[in-house]
């Protein structure tokens, strides 16, 4: 892989914002926290880029998404081409409607198994123009990531407009742990010049280049089977070697692809036995292997974490109000942090700390930074609990108001009685 994605201010294990940045307002932090909570349920985020238009980037995005779905993966397809959304047409979904449920947008489904979102679903007439400047485009892309009910996905394929403008830049800034980009080109030099710029763009943003796809690489005559190199051939592979990025493969010009695009039927699922479909399968294979590599990496990290945890203590935080366990978590005055040996059922160390000035969403990262594994409290709102869940901090609610050491000893002995969460809202 080329380059390494930066995760500044981001918790790679939980997918949540680790802490509020010094240059970040609280509202911005909470928005970033919500976005990253959504994204942490998606294993792989892959951008499809091209240096220039007309190279078949959206066709590659659609067929890659369908290929992954046919391989048994849970897939989402996001179209962030604000000015020229192609995905609805390519999937014959131009009449699809997007519904809202509470604060969530429910994506459209392609053949009941691929979740799809595009600005094209939100426009009235098919020829309606979108005349937006950069900030408006950034906001709609952010909404597509943060507010769409993507759920648990193996892959989110993101179809970007050509070039290195607002939309690709926005998505790279918003998704801090993207796996990387697949760059689509055609063999002629004019396209390859722009692809080199796309690779440079990725490197400046520390976005890995997963590979280059050479589309329209030769034309096989349907009558005589003679191959005609309309746009030359092999330029993408040569450029990949020069730029030191992987070359994923070539896709020839096929009249059936054109017919499939116009009819809204993905080529890969309707011509699966063709040579061109096999070319798509070869391109998909290294993307599927990302899953294996990530699982291996997660296993190694878990083993490292278990090894590191061996011999350490569990840290339990008790929120205090007037010297006793606080019945309302948000009203606590101090925290007592107990380091406990759960095997020996004893308290090893006790520390009292004062929390920062109260602001929504600030306590989960603050306590996580202090190594807290668990909180025992009387009541906690569902929003706060979800933030602690994202930071891997277990929350026990419904405990009675009592001396903090008594509460912790009851927990260690297995005699702690908990009732209703009085702040569950």
pLDDT > 60? residue 175: yes
Residue-wise pLDDT tens digits, 190-205: 778 888 888 999 988 8
Lowest mean pLDDT among 56-65, 281-290, 371-380: 281-290
How would residue 1 be classed by pLDDT, with cut points 50, 70 and 90? very low
CATH 3.40.50.300 fits 10-301, yes or no: yes
Which sequence spans correspond to the domains of the chain? 10-301, 314-413
**What pLDDT sits at residue 329?**
79
| C-alpha to C-alpha distance for 352 and 358, rounded to whole angstroms | 17
Q: Is pLDDT larger for residue 47 or for residue 95?
A: 47
pLDDT > 70? residue 127: no
CA R_g for the chain: 26
Q: Is pLDDT larger for residue 10 or for residue 414?
A: 414
Average pLDDT, the chain: 80
Question: What pTM value is reported for the model?
Answer: 0.65
**What pLDDT sits at residue 95?**
81
pLDDT > 50? residue 180: yes
C-alpha distances in angstroms, 365 versus 265, 282, 316? Answer: 46, 43, 15
Residues paired with residue 184 on neighbouring β-strands, in sequence order: 50, 213
| Assigned token pair, 362 | 């600030």
To which CATH superfamily is domain 314-413 assigned?
A: Dinitrogenase iron-molybdenum cofactor biosynthesis domain (3.30.420.130)
Which SS3 state, helix, strand or coil, does residue 276 take? helix
**What pLDDT sits at residue 18?**
52
Give whichever of 21-35, 128-142, 299-313, 363-377 has the largest mean pLDDT. Answer: 363-377
**What pLDDT sits at residue 361?**
72
10-301 and 314-413: identical CATH topology: no
Listed in order, strand segments (DSSP E) in 39-160 are 42-50, 75-79, 99-101, 104-106, 108-110, 114-118, 153-159
How would residue 309 be classed by pLDDT, with cut points 50, 70 and 90? very low
């Amino acid at each position: 892989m080329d380059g390494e994605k930066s995760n500044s201010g981001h918790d790679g294990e939980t997918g949540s914002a680790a802490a509020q940045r010094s240059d970040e307002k609280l509202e911005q932090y909470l928005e970033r926290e919500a976005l990253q909570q959504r994204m942490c349920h998606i294993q792989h985020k892959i951008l499809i880029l091209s240096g220039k238009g007309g190279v078949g980037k959206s066709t590659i995005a659609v067929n890659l998404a369908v290929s992954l779905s046919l391989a048994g993966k849970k897939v989402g397809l996001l179209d962030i081409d604000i000015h020229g959304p192609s995905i609805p047409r390519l999937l014959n979904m131009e009449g699809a409607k997007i519904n809202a449920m509470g604060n969530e947008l429910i994506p459209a489904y392609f053949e009941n198994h691929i979740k799809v979102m595009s600005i094209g679903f939100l426009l009235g007439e098919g020829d309606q123009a979108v005349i937006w400047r950069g900030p408006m485009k950034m906001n709609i892309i952010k909404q597509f990531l943060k507010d769409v009910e993507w759920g648990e996905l193996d892959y989110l394929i993101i179809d970007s407009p050509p070039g290195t403008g607002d939309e690709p830049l926005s998505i790279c800034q918003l998704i801090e742990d993207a796996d990387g980009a697949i760059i689509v080109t055609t063999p002629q030099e004019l396209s390859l010049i722009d692809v080199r710029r796309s690779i440079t763009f990725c490197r400046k943003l520390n976005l890995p280049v997963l590979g280059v796809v050479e589309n329209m690489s030769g034309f096989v005559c349907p009558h005589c089977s003679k191959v005609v190199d309309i746009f030359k051939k092999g330029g993408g592979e040569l450029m990949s070697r020069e730029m030191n990025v992987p070359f994923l493969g070539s896709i020839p010009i096929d009249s059936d692809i054109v017919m499939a695009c116009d009819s809204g039927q993905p080529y890969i699922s309707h011509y699966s036995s063709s040579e061109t479909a096999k070319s798509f399968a070869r391109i998909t294979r290294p993307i599927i292997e990302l899953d294996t590599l990530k699982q291996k990496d997660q296993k190694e990290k878990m083993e490292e974490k278990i090894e590191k945890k061996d011999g350490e203590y569990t840290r339990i935080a008790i929120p205090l109000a007037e010297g006793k366990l606080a019945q309302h978590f948000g009203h606590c005055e101090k925290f007592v942090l107990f380091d406990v040996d759960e095997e020996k059922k004893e308290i090893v160390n006790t520390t009292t700390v004062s929390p920062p000035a109260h602001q929504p969403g600030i306590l989960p990262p603050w306590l996580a930074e202090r190594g807290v594994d668990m909180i025992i409290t009387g009541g906690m709102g569902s929003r706060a609990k979800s933030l602690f869940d994202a930071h891997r901090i277990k929350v026990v609610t419904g405990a009675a108001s009592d001396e903090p050491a008594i509460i912790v000893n009851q927990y260690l002995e297995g005699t702690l009685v908990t009732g209703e969460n009085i702040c569950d809202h």
